[in-house]
Structure 1
């Protein structure tokens, strides 16, 4: 079902959901103190996260902004992306988030990531490498669409993403991101795989 989606429509699917707000930074001001280091075990990488969903609906950042794989290994758990399904107060700060999250039957681990200059994710693949996949990802590049600000490499190709627009992206394929600016931000939604959620994507594809 998920493999058919990306095989038929491509690895980058633009979507017709309400775009992220141009003034999102202002809308998120009440949460200025709730941004946490993304993956606290790698504080040298300039990435801050703000949870859209978490295990308990709170904004502690743990373990929802940590590496789930590493957290499971340390604590002997088997958490997966769909387990982080409680919406935080951050959702209601953004009409765009209210709109898109209300369309899906369920959500998984979702958050904003704010990069400092030099912040990055090295080449990697998302998922736990077990089939069938349990979730896929929808993104918005909130700020930083210029090449001088932010680069997303999908395998060997730079993605041309429209700022504030939502995309379903096949991040099971190798990809990397890098920020050249202190002013870049992305929104990441993990969407559990089920027929209803796949149909939401199909119904909202922005493909001519």
Structure 2
């Protein structure tokens, strides 16, 4: 099957005619569904299906000032921790009508910054970031375009940022308490370098 040229593709007017509604109703069904009754929405979607209509996501993004893109920026994808995060973000993004863009920084600051720029240029609706550096000013470009970045495993240095973190101090404490309650007399700690805040916090809690 040969794809139709752009000029010949079905537009909103054709969908409106098939559904027996105005073009404004078709637009509201796509962008402001709360303004359209369920019955009318069903007619519009049926017409879209019959005509093989594909909405113009770029045009919708321009009208809204943001797209339907959620960026996930992680240091690598081999680590099972980041792979699990990617799977969850992809699933929940799709369920809510968004598309996840997976951006892997490869532990390189310049690559990470390139990803931030790309997400800003695409007017991403949001960005979930495991940052390489504590300097969250690098994320200002995203915040300026309304991309609402959320940090994972890193706290914003100011209170107006959103982070999802584990209390590593409490985690280290609970782990050692569990061993001591089980009768352990000596406890060993296998940890990473203190330059990684989570490692330092785990040792503090363990001690």
Normalised by the length of structure 2, the TM-score is: 0.25
The structure where strand makes up a greater share of residues is 1
Q: Which has the higher contact order (CA 8 A, sep 6+)?
A: 1
Q: Which has the larger radius of gyration?
A: 2
Question: What TM-score does the superposition give when structure 1 sets the normalisation length?
Answer: 0.25
Indicate the structure with greater helix content: 2
